[in-house]
Amino acid sequence: MLTQIQQASLELEDNMAEYKSRIEAQENQIHEMQEQILHQAQQGREYETAVQHWKDKTEKYESFLAQLIYLLDSFPSDPKSIDPEQYSILVELREKLF
């Protein structure tokens, strides 16, 4: 009877060691997956920032282009007759270009 109890105890210890090893392996996998998730979330935020940057630049250049089109559409054929508003826009565009 004692040997059966000792045998059962040894089997339980072996099982416990195996389960402990499995738990440690799974905890390592969980940790690695959490690190990957954090890294991917950071990349996502960086991509969103880049997209917003280029969206802002696009809006800026669209505004610039609208002003340029306005200037060209309203530019008189005689350069001496440029009105002050057109001249102001021309100066502003020149500053943006150079």
- In the chain, what are the domain boundaries? 2-97
pTM to 2 decimal places:
0.55
Predicted pLDDT of residue 87: 75
Helix (H) or strand (E) holding 48: helix 2-74
The parts of the chain modelled with pLDDT lower than 70 are: 75-80, 97-98
Predicted pLDDT of residue 1: 76
Predicted pLDDT of residue 68: 80
Secondary structure class of 79 (helix, strand, coil): helix
Amino acid at 43: Q
Residues 6+ apart with CB under 8 A from 70: 89
